[in-house]
Amino acid sequence: MKRLLSPLAVACCMATVAPSLSAAPYSGLYVFGDSLSDAGQFPDSVNSTTQTRRFTNRIGPLFTDASGEVYGKTSPMLLGELLGLGPQSPSTSSVFESNGWADGNNWAVGGYQTAEILNSITAIGGSVVADDGTTFRQRDGFLVDLASRGMSLDRNALYYVNGGGNDFLDVEINPFAPPAVATQQAQAAAGRLVDSVEALQNAGARYIMVSLLPDVGGTPNAAALGVFIPTLPGTVSGLVGDFNTELVSQLRGIDANIIPLNLPLLVTEVLATPGAYGFDATQNLTGTCFNGCANVNTTWGINSATPDPSKLMFNDSVHPTTAVQQIAADYAYSLLGAAQELSLLPEMALGNLRAHQGQLRSQWQADWSAWQAVDQWRGFVTAGGQQQDFDSQDNSSSADGDGYSLNLGGSYRLDDAWRVGVALGLYGQDLEAGAANSDYNLNSYLATAFAQYQDNRWWADLALSAGSLDYDNLERSIQLGQVTRTEQGDTDGNLWGASGRVGYDIAQPGSEWHLSPFLSADYVEVDVDGYAEDGSRSTALTFDDQQRDSRRLGAGIQGRYQLSPVTALFAEYSHEREYEDDTSEVRSELNSLPGIGFELRGYTPGDSLDSASVGVSHQLTRDLSLRGGYSYSQSDEQSQQGVSVSLALDW
C-alpha cells in the first residue's frame, strides 16, 4: 500500500459531505477520483472477506485493524445518502464480484492519478484496482461499459470528479524539477482532470461537481518531509496553486454545467477557527494525525489515553478524518441546496399577490348587490395575516412562513352598472427554508386598479396589479459539521398581473341569497433581481435574475346569504389550471470562483390550484360595516391560508 499511503497524494483529496435534502433531485450519483472518494474498491482482508477498505479512520470505538469495525464513509458516499440516493458502493471491487453483489456507481480508486481517472471514464479496461503489482479486478471504463451494454449516460444524475493528489505522490508533478517544468506538469495534470469532465459532458452529463485540490503542502506528510527539506511544503503548496489556477481557467472555458468545490478555501476557513468545528485548537492539526504518520498525536491519537479522530483533521499522513469529510460533504450539499431554497423567492411574492387579490375579492363579495350609491365613494382598510407552507419536492426544499398585511382602498360608483377603484397593499413575509433553517424576508408593496360590472344578474370584474419587492434580509444557513454558517444578501424585484372574472347570479333579484358560477383568467409575472451574498467565503454565492410566470384559467362558484338586515355571510370556491408549471432553474456561481456558473433545478409549480374562502359582513351603522374572512388554497405541495378583518365606510 505504499502508493496509496504515501505523501502528498491523498491529502489532496478532501472531498464532500453534508446536511440533507429531503428528497432526491438527482436520479443517481456517479463518482470518479482517488482515495478521498473511494467507496471501498480494495479488500479489507484483516477484518473479513466481505468488507472493503476505505481511506479514512475506522468508525470506533477501537479504531484498530482486526477490530471488526468498518471504515468511515468518504464524502461522496455521505453526499449520496444526504441526497436521498441510499448507500453508495464501489464499481470494480473484487469483494463485490466474489460475493455476487452488484457493482456500484463509485469509480474512484485509491492511488489514481489524473490520467487513470480519465481512463476509468473513457478507456477499454480503464477501471483497474491494483496495488504493489497485484491486480484485484479490472473492467471497462464507465462510458465504454455503458456503450457495450447499449446504454446511454443518465442525464439526470449528478457526476462528481476529484483528483490530482497522486500526481504529486508519484512525482508526475515533481517539486524538485525546475519551477517552469514543475508548473507545466501541474497544468498538464489539471488538464487531464478537465478532459474527464469534458468526456462526461460530451456524453450528456448535465450536472458535474468538480473539486479543487486541497493544499497538499499542508499535510502531516509534508510537515515531516519539511524537517529535512524546509522549502518543500511551500514549493508543493505553490504547485497546488498552479494546478488549481489551471483547473479553474480550463473549466471556465468549456461548455458544461460545473459545480465547483473550493475545498482549499474551505479548509483554510476551518483552520482559522478549528475549535468551532469540534477540533482541538491546541494541537498541531496539520502536522499530526490520528494514526499512520511520523507524528501521531499524543492527546487524541490512536495510542493515546483518549483516542478520538474527530478532534483531529488528519487520519494519517495525507487522508482527512471522517469529521473533515463530513464538513466537506456539508459544503457540497449547501451548493446543491441553494437553488432549491432560492427558487422559492418568486413563490413568496406570488403568494403575497394572491393574498392581496383574495382580500380585495372578499370586499367585493361583501358588497355583492349592495354597492354604494351612484357618485359615492366606499373606502376600506384591511389588516390580515398569512401563512405559506411548501412541502419538500425532488427539486426544492420544504419551507414555511408567516406574514402580515395591510390594505387600503376605495371604489367609486359611476352608474347603476359600473364602479371603479384602487387598492394599495403592504405585505411582510418571513420564510424559513431548508434543513438548516435559512431565513428569507420579503416586503411587498402592491397596487391594484379595478373595474366592476353588475347588471341583470350578470357580473364581471377586471383587476390590474403591480408591485415592488424588497428582499431586505436573505439569510441562507449552511451546516458545516458542528457549525451553522449564514450567508447574507438582499435584492429587489417587481411583479405585475391581470385578473378577470365573469359570472351569472342564478338567484332572482331581491333574493336573500345569491349563488353564482363564474369563469376566471389570471396572469402574473414575478421578476427577482440577481444578487451576490456578502463576502467571498467558500460558501458565498452570486445568483442570477429569476422570472416566474403564472397563467391560470379556472372556474368556481360564489355564494352570499343575508342572514339578517345587517349581517351577511359569503363564501367562494374555485379550481384553476396552471399553465406555467415547468420546473424553475436557478443559475449561480461561487463568489470565490467567478466565471464558473452552474444552473440547478428548483421549485416546480403545481399544475392546479384549489381555493376556498368564507367571510362575514356586519353593518355597524348605515355607512360603516365590519368584515372578516378566512381563505385557504392548495396547489400540490404548496398551501396558503390567511385571515383578515376590515372596516368599510361610505362617504
Residue positions annotated with a catalytic role? 35, 316, 319
Task: Please answer whether residues 461 and 452 qualify as being in contact, where contact means their C-beta atoms are separated by less than 8 angstroms.
Answer: yes
Neighbours of 20 (CB within 10 A): 17
Angle of helix 75-82 versus helix 322-342 axis, rounded to 10: 40
Pairing label, strands 52-53, 567-578 = unpaired
Q: In sequence order, which residues have a C-beta less than 8 Å from that of residue 494 and are 6 or more positions away?
A: 466, 467, 468, 469, 526, 527
Q: What does DSSP assign to residue 622?
A: S
Single-letter amino acid code for the residue at 503: G
Q: Which of 440, 403, 336, 343 is nearest to 637 (CA)?
A: 343
The answer to whether residues 152 and 206 touch, using CB atoms and an 8 Å cutoff, is: no
On the question of a cis peptide bond just before residue 594, with omega within 30 degrees of 0, the verdict is no
Cβ atoms of 398 and 391 within 8 Å: the answer is yes
Q: Provide the terminal-to-terminal Cα distance of the chain, rounded to the nearest Å.
A: 91
Give the cell for residue 477.
444557513
The residue behind cell 385578473 is 499
CA dihedral of 371, 377, 378, 381, whole degrees rounded to 10 = 160
Contact 321, 328 (CB under 8 A): no
Beta strands in 529-637 (DSSP E): 531-532, 541-543, 546-564, 567-578, 585-590, 598-601, 608-619, 624-635
The residues, any chain, with a CB within 8 Å of residue 173's CB and separated by 6 or more, are 167, 182, 185, 186, 189, 239, 243
**Dist. CA 418–CA 514, nearest whole Å:** 19
d(CA 535, CA 591): 8
- Write the CA distances from 291 to 12, 169, 216, 217, 257, integer angstroms: 18, 19, 18, 19, 39
DSSP track, 85-123: -----BSS-HHHHHTTPPP-SB---TT--HHHHHHHHHS
Q: Estimate the share of the chain in helix, then strand, then coil, as percent rounded to the nearest 5.
A: 25, 40, 40
By the 10 Å C-beta count (0-12 exposed, 13-18 middle, 19+ buried), 10 is classed as buried
* 166 in Cβ contact with 113 (< 8 Å): yes
* Alpha-carbon torsion (341, 342, 345, 347), positive or negative: negative
A 10 A CB-CB count for 1 gives: 12
d(CA 10, CA 645): 65
| Type of residue numbered 385 | G
Asked if 70 contacts 64 with a C-beta cutoff of 8 angstroms, the reply is: no
- Are 319 and 291 contacting, i.e. CB atoms less than 8 angstroms apart? no
- Bridge partners, 617 (sequence order): 568, 627
